[in-house]
Chain A
Amino acid sequence: MKSALMEILACPACKSKLNLESPARSGDDVVSGTLRCTKCGEAYPIKDGIPNLLPPEYRDRPASSLPGAH
């Protein structure tokens, strides 16, 4: 993930800004690290350059088990 693109990331749960913590860089690329929400505090990992912004309730549970699914 290019560090210049940080600004466009948002927390999928509360839609607030994310801060980048303990990044490992390769040139302009953030290869690993943690994205933490500035509002709700939820943490999202960056692994192999891919930010995983699956919301917490979807990480372990499929959409079909969310309330109101049909």
Chain B
Amino acid sequence: MKKLFSVGETLTESVQAHYTELAERGEAAAIAGAAVASTECCSTKEVYSSEELAALTSGVTAASAGCGNPVALADLKKGEVVLDLGSGGGIDCFLAARFVGPTGRVIGVDMTLAMVGLARKNAERMDAQNVIFKMGRIEAIPERDATVDMVMSNCVINLSERKDLVFAEVFRVLKPGGRMVISDMVVDRELPPEVRADRKQWWACVGGAEVKADYLGRIRDAGLERMEVLEDVRSMIAPEGDWRSSVRSITVRAFRPV
């Protein structure tokens, strides 16, 4: 049942409620053994290849809500340690796990209990031994300093009201020379205040999207270097002048200095 946010409910709580519902749909799909069409911002078919999707179970794909494919651009190697911020049902973790192999490991962090529960069940269903999921905040990552080779995130950081803390944490957990490859939503120009204030637009990964230059500036401010925008596509079809026309999905790579 759709939970309507009540008076006084915080943005974080409303985001959690929305993604709890998506996790429940993912679990239902896993039990039914069938894919449920995702109503999220991007469908899995637009973002992942058919070969990648074939390797996953329906409980993984049905709860997916990414806007890019960071694993495909991360150049992962055997034995690497990967951290996924906002791991959801685990789709990107399971894709990354194939690249890093049994000597590597993949850690998924998510603030929504139902999503971590779904990801854990998905890991059992897929017999993924090198993947771990835990409940945590991306603004206070439960990882030790300089322990991660590659930090990824897929359409999640826009949901954070403290993006500055998120990128500072990414810098902290990355090994020197380690990289971040993230897909996220940004905008060309400031969103109208009524869009920004609309929680449904936050859930849809639009309300919290920042102006692209400001977003990239935060990454630089965190100390990450050699930043490169690997992908940059308009994500909504709308006439020029309509705020929707300024919404973009980008994939960015940056490194912690050696």
Contact status A62-B13, CB under 8 Å = yes
Contact status B142-A10, CB under 8 Å = yes
Q: Tell me how many residues of A have a C-beta within 8 Å of chain B.
A: 29
Bound form: Cα–Cα A34–B133 in Å: 16
Considering the complex, give the chain B residue whose CB is closest to the CB of A70: B161
Q: Which of A54, A66, A68, A69 has a CB less than 8 Å from the CB of B111?
A: A54
A53 and B134 contact, Cβ closer than 8 Å, known pairs A12-B141, A66-B162: yes
B116: A residues at CB distance < 8 A: 50
Contact status A53-B136, CB under 8 Å = yes
B144: A residues at CB distance < 8 A: 8, 10, 15-17
Closest-CB distance, A29 to chain B (whole angstroms):
10
A50: B residues at CB distance < 8 A: 113, 116-117, 120, 133-135
Tell whether A20 is near chain B: CB-to-CB under 8 Å.
no
Closest-CB distance, A51 to chain B (whole angstroms):
5
Closest-CB distance, B172 to chain A (whole angstroms):
8
B248: A residues at CB distance < 8 A: none
Considering the complex, give the chain A residue whose CB is closest to the CB of B81: A8
Contact status A9-B142, CB under 8 Å = yes
A49: B residues at CB distance < 8 A: 120
A17: B residues at CB distance < 8 A: 144
Q: Tell me how many residues of B have a C-beta within 8 Å of chain A.
A: 32
Contact status B132-A53, CB under 8 Å = no
Considering the complex, give the chain B residue whose CB is closest to the CB of A7: B144
Q: Which of B11, B107, B132 has a CB less than 8 Å from the CB of A62?
A: B11
Bound form: Cα–Cα A16–B116 in Å: 23
Q: Which of B132, B140, B162 has a CB less than 8 Å from the CB of A8?
A: B132
Tell whether A2 is near chain B: CB-to-CB under 8 Å.
yes
Q: Which of B13, B81, B133, B140 has a CB less than 8 Å from the CB of A55?
A: B140
Closest-CB distance, A36 to chain B (whole angstroms):
13
Considering the complex, give the chain B residue whose CB is closest to the CB of A51: B134
Contact status A5-B132, CB under 8 Å = yes
CB within 8 Å of A: which B1-20 residues: 10-13
Contact status A64-B132, CB under 8 Å = no
Closest 10 CB pairs of A and B: A53-B142, A62-B10, A62-B12, A53-B136, A10-B144, A12-B142, A12-B140, A55-B140, A51-B134, A52-B135
Q: Which residues of B are at the interface with A, using a C-beta cutoff of 8 A? A: 10-13, 81, 105, 107, 109, 111, 113, 116-117, 120, 129, 132-137, 139-145, 147, 160-162, 172
* 12 A-B interface contacts by CB (under 8 A): A5-B105, A8-B144, A11-B142, A12-B142, A15-B144, A15-B172, A48-B117, A51-B135, A53-B136, A55-B140, A63-B12, A64-B11
